[in-house]
Chains A and B, each alone.
Chain A
């Protein structure tokens, strides 16, 4: 387990993290995960985060080493799409039993890897460490190494026992696994001056496909997307890219930064949500590529594309502007979405009555302030009861959040829209922005709200 604590330390000391830069050496060592409150905690574990980050690699076997809890209760719960292999949609687990807990689960793990290879012949197997085997001291690094020798293909250990920390930490541990065992182990068939990596994009509801045509149009090739719609060999050979775009803020910053360090690939942070953010992302990408040898015209082509796409999107949004201007939105989400969605909604004239900043970095908060003014109602932490009150008193017209808190809104008989992992609509790029606004419009103007708020005829008052 010393290996794990080293890894955790390494991620905590991430110099790319703005929060860290402000800390003393000693503070940094303590790490950034807040002590959780027993009985008042919510949210996933490090294993959850690692799985979220890597599961969208579509053609490998994702084998979870642990009791049935970790995989049996959770598999098949995210809408990350694939254009090809469907192997990633199956759940694989060692489902360890009492005997394994007593005698150790390494042998079972080795056999499980063998079975998975025999039956599914994947280019690689990813092995996830979870709490129970970590506690009894199963050495998955050693098992994976032995298996790699035996079966002649990559077997990637992912050190991610849930108790190590939060989902966010798990994202980073997943990144470490890729850096240590995958990235740079193969060579691409060919390269172009316009090869990029995208890090932190999971192709939920197929969002990558809203962006890819734009890049295709500019002749920019996605060498690897980490990890939406990815295949193993793409990630293994992505160290030959010319630039990296880091999506969704800090979740996988370690990948972007270490690839810069190791292979000299510069990166920038950006978002595909919102019209101006999307344009900025294209601009920055083009600029970085030109700086590294891509043809100069890429810049003007990009501007042209941006102008055309923005115009198109505004044209489509005009219809909604009239219907949505002045409507008040309550945003309960975390991290990057707290600001990327804000700018998007403001573009159609909606008012943000509050946004949660529980998981946002200081930098995220700065951006919110810039967007919403100093008065911005940033909600550090709001209990479901408070949210319910707020909606019941109609201080917002619609709530946007992750699926888990949807019923707070629905039970208050207020419109709600899913903007987290389980959403079924793709909201990236120019088209995605239009789709998001269309969904908000559809939710807000559904006649059902009038219907459900009708009191029963026999009700008093």
Chain B
């Protein structure tokens, strides 16, 4: 039972958090042929863009309404109109998504009203779907912006009342899932003979591939027709607590019942997920996953030597914290420090004494005495100061390759996570033992090799 405490500091140091609008923008990047726009001043967009470029190492479609001091005070209708016209003409998107920012929210622009007027005035924009989401920078965090945006896409674009398609199911994906995770989940679901519609689907747009030609909008992601068809699905699975709202919205609008799968890491949560799919599809769990399960169990047996009693510090957005936290605890780790960015009910049963809504400075204080740190790349300096192994999770990961392909979910993802973390713990232990050897000399390597063999016998 974790207690939730809010950092009461006026000065946030080394932020863990990122803002709502760019969370919204990233969700929009999982929609095909989309141009996300931040309604604000150009710097907000530039920062978001650079952040995603560094993380995904991909071209990032993101535009701005380029508000300045004067237009902010007068209201941003003309800028939105101009932005829509320019984007429609230059990028030819199939859909435009607009997220507000702190600036335009402070002024209180009535964007819904603006959009109505603009559509009346500009018949050339009549056919262009535009989704608008309110995402002030001074509230919530990245994950909230993502969640709100997905809910809004559902509200605006899903069509109710279609006849049910029996094998079609909706998967609403939270921001804690990487393109690699989504690919893994899709494969699992398809192996049951189900046809999933993923929303948003970063696995098509930000999975790092070489496109045929250059496109200024997103290249891949959920197609508009698919989004419209979501009302005809058999069921909706919300992947991550943050997707509950969007799933409910979908249910209210179309009657498609929803289920929540908040965890996809670790033996028992993947078990539950597969069991659910088996029930939904009426098919048994495929052989590959039975095999993968037993491999994961084996990995857990091999790994438990290294995880037992290890004190861990995690800094992550709520849903990611929940997934990683529970899994490490199930492997025998002791969660000692947990810092997150925004309120969430997932903290309630997290196996940690308290969750602090705060920054990396808070995490560093709580992490004293920990033996393992997990957070985004900004944590690297802290890990160096604490001299403990560091595993990168979440966004941004800008100093290592492959962030988009990091797979943490399913039996396979859980297993590779287990191995990678365990190997880091082993390496750290070796280093420590090495440091205690008197007179590090040429014999050291040999001694170390012996020790490893011993260990092999013990554990193998």
Which residues of A does B touch, CB under 8 Å?
1, 36-48, 63, 66-77, 86, 89-98, 100-101, 108-109, 111-116, 119, 131-132, 134-136, 161-165, 383-385, 388-389, 403-404, 407-408, 411-413, 422
Contacts and interface: CB of A to CB of B under 8 A. Distances in A.
Given A38-B83, A69-B102, A411 B211 contact: yes
29 contacts: A1-B69, A38-B66, A38-B67, A39-B37, A39-B65, A40-B90, A43-B46, A44-B43, A44-B46, A46-B43, A47-B43, A48-B43, A68-B138, A69-B47, A74-B51, A76-B14, A94-B11, A98-B139, A101-B138, A119-B13, A132-B103, A163-B68, A385-B216, A389-B214, A404-B49, A404-B53, A407-B58, A411-B211, A412-B214
A193 B85 CA distance: 60
Contacts of A75: 14-15, 378
Interface in B75-100: 79-80, 82-87, 90
Contacts of B84: 39
Interface stretch (B17-25, B159-167, B308-316, B444-452): B17-25
B11 to A, nearest CB: 4
A94 B10 contact: yes
B48 interface: yes
A7 to B, nearest CB: 13
B107 interface: yes
Contacts of B137: 67-69, 132
B43 A77 contact: no
A72 B42 CA distance: 16
Contact of A411 (B14, B87, B214): B214
Contacts of A132: 102-103, 106, 137-138
Given A44-B42, A135-B72, 8 more contacts: A39-B63, A73-B51, A91-B14, A109-B10, A111-B10, A115-B9, A131-B41, A134-B69
B228 to A, nearest CB: 25
B42 A36 contact: yes
A68 B58 contact: no
Give the 8 A-B CB pairs with smallest separation, nearest first: A45-B43, A39-B83, A39-B86, A112-B11, A111-B10, A67-B137, A162-B43, A38-B83
Interface of B: 9-15, 17-19, 21-22, 37, 40-51, 53-54, 57-59, 63-69, 72-73, 79-80, 82-87, 90, 101-103, 106-107, 136-139, 141, 210-211, 214, 216, 361, 378, 381, 398
A95 B12 contact: yes
A165 B41 CA distance: 9
Contacts of A135: 72-73, 103, 106-107
A72 B68 contact: no
A370 to B, nearest CB: 32
Contacts of A93: 11-12, 15
Nearest to B16: A72
Contact of B19 (A42, A67, A131, A165): A67
A407 B57 contact: yes
B141 A68 contact: yes
